[in-house]
Chain A
């Protein structure tokens, strides 16, 4: 299985809602990543987990809260988002020492109303 899956594919939420994005991989990768990609822009790194521990937080606002419950799963909890947070949220995974070979999921397209 060489796939990274993300659910849901699309999400529309209000500014007061709480929702979660889910990412799963079964490639034995012990590094997992969240990126944010706005239209016609490159992906921007948000968080990195290595061996289920948060190793990089790129100064992301606290309304985004990552969680890595086990080596196959990565969640991104969302609360009190702003319309400017609307974007494609991409999950990726890799072996920790092989970060140049990151496998990306299809993304969750988030719209904040």
Chain B
């Protein structure tokens, strides 16, 4: 079983729809949960991060973490064609203040149809 599972899609929705993206994970040590957006042939861009469980909202984006189910979600409201990209979830465990790499999901390719 992979550490982080994410449906690669593609997920195609009409403009203005609410988009739901999800990841599941198996490592209970993960405490930091991130969502990155990656446009074609570009580097990933950090959208949001959440520490432990709970919700976090930033504009049209809402991130949710349910540690009991090992399940995280990203919701995009009022989706726009410019939101079309690959969305990667990423996670890491606490590292005692040191630097540590991230464990990524495969990424979901999202297409917003005008």
Chain B residues closer than 8 Å to A92, beta-carbon distance: 43
Q: Footprint of A on B, CB under 8 Å?
A: 4, 8, 32, 34, 36, 41-46, 49, 51, 88, 92, 95, 97-102, 104-107
Report Cα–Cα, A99/B45, bound state, in Å.
Answer: 14
Q: Footprint of B on A, CB under 8 Å?
A: 4, 6, 31, 33, 35, 40-45, 48-50, 55-56, 58, 88, 90, 92, 94, 96-97, 99-107, 109
Chain B residues closer than 8 Å to A101, beta-carbon distance: 46, 49
* Pair A48/B99 contact, Cβ less than 8 Å: yes
Q: Which residue of A lies closest to B107 (CB)?
A: A42
Chain B residues closer than 8 Å to A104, beta-carbon distance: 36, 43-46
Chief secondary structure at chain B's binding surface: loop
B97 interface neighbour in A97, A103, A105, Cβ under 8 Å:
A97
Chain B residues closer than 8 Å to A99, beta-carbon distance: 32, 92, 95, 98-102
A43 interface neighbour in B44, B45, B46, Cβ under 8 Å:
B44
* Pair B100/A56 contact, Cβ less than 8 Å: yes
* Pair B42/A102 contact, Cβ less than 8 Å: no
* Pair A102/B46 contact, Cβ less than 8 Å: yes
Q: Which residue of A lies closest to B104 (CB)?
A: A42
Measured CB to CB, the closest approach of chain B to A74, in angstroms, equals 12
Report Cα–Cα, A35/B42, bound state, in Å.
Answer: 13
Chain A residues closer than 8 Å to B102, beta-carbon distance: 43, 45, 99-100, 102
**Quick one: which of B34, B98, B100 has the most chain A CB within 10 A?**
B100
Measured CB to CB, the closest approach of chain A to B38, in angstroms, equals 9
Known: A41-B106, A42-B105, A90-B43. A55 touches B49 (CB 8 A): no
Measured CB to CB, the closest approach of chain B to A102, in angstroms, equals 6
Measured CB to CB, the closest approach of chain B to A52, in angstroms, equals 11
Known: A100-B92, A107-B42. A50 touches B104 (CB 8 A): no
Measured CB to CB, the closest approach of chain A to B111, in angstroms, equals 15
